[in-house]
Amino acid sequence: MEHLQQSFTVQYNYNVFFTSALFSPENELLNSFLVNLNPAVTIKKILFVIDEGVANTHPNLNNQLKAYFSKYAQTQLIQDILVIPGGELVKNDTKYFDQVLEAINVHGIDRHSFVAAIGGGAVLDMVGYAATVAHRGIKHIRIPSTVLSQNDSGVGVKNGINYFNKKNFLGTFSSPVAVFNDELFLKTLSDRDWRSGIAEAIKVALIKDVEFFEWLEANAAALAARDMAAMNYQIWKCAKLHMEHIRSADPFENGSARPLDFGHWSAHKLEYLTNFEIRHGEAVAMGIALDTVYSNLSGRISAEDAQRVIALIQVLGFELTHPLLQVTEGNSPILQGLEEFREHLGGELTITLLTALGSGEEVHEIDTEILKKAAGILNNQALFIQQ
């Protein structure tokens, strides 16, 4: 039987810019980027979608945007700036996804125009998904406003919303045309949100770069005290490691290996079990602690190295565990997270465990008894610390 075979390669290019006061009239960075991207197109529009939390803490943002694009008029600003809730709510309820699509349609945002999202990771995920399915792909720009989105999710290639009560059940792999990290957005974060994103730094250091882990140990107190210079370096380093991984590994996750999800299998389930009262970064810190102790109990890393990880998590101010992470019986809720994680991977269960600080290995099954013991150790340590 005859058949035809097709094979082609698509190159993705995007920049992550680090700046301050992105929308200051004196800052030409954004305008220069917009004008130089496909300069042959005469009319380009830009639609902004803003996280409600950002809008509330930056009440003059709309006026700043209008003043900026009044001065740099080569790109037409859609004056009807859309403000939507932040957090997982915006990914759980499809009405916000529909609102973005409606704005794209009403304002005639075409494939030569832009959808720019300003906000935390959930808003970036949802708006990116809307942009990549409208007209089979509109250029989207990410302007992350949290530590978590500036150092991790905002610089990646994934977009999505939650569906069937499952995290990121609907989504796409599509890179933004650019990411703009503005340090000014970090200054208005609560202490809780400032801290939350640092969990992803611990994660990437543990699986990619022991020297970065040692830097985090040395600078943990400064990060906890909101030292901006330390935070800026942490964000830059995380973004760099994240982008290097995307380039060198499996950017569209065709396989089941996902080392950048170290500590995440339990974190994703815990977020849902707590109705997202636990922040993603907080859940990841607990998931890292759990998988680190499991790595020790299963003979992969020393107790000393495991304790270094636990100590770093504590110095940064994270909780080590949660009652819902305890394994008491075969149908404990957290164990359902293992099966859901396997399903999300689309193949066999693949979880990264540590073999040393800075490196890991993939495993395809988890011993429930060891997991139960690891959860118990963290629970006892947490209780001891509180006394």
Q: Which domains does the chain have, with CATH numbers?
A: 15-188 (3.40.50.1970), 191-386 (1.20.1090.10)
pLDDT on residue 346? 59
pLDDT at site 345: 57
pLDDT of residue 64: 97
In the numeric block, which tokens belong to residue 25? 């009239």
Contact 155, 239 (CB under 8 A): yes
Tell me what pLDDT residue 330 has: 66
Across the chain, how many H-helices and E-strands are there? 16, 11
Which residues 6+ apart lie within 8 Å of 331 measured at CB?
A: none
- Could you tell me if residue 307 is left (phi over 0), alpha (psi between -120 and 50 degrees) or otherwise beta? alpha
DSSP 133-144: HGGG--EEEEEE
Q: Supply the pLDDT for residue 10.
A: 77
CA distance 168 to 290: 23
pLDDT of amino acid 253? 60
CA distance 137 to 108: 14
Ranges under pLDDT 50 in the chain: 256-257, 386-387
pLDDT, tens only, 92-101: 999 999 999 9
DSSP 348: S
Q: Would you state the pLDDT for residue 167?
A: 79
Per-residue pLDDT, 128 = 97
pLDDT value, residue 335: 82
pLDDT value at residue 50: 98
Provide the pLDDT for residue 307.
96
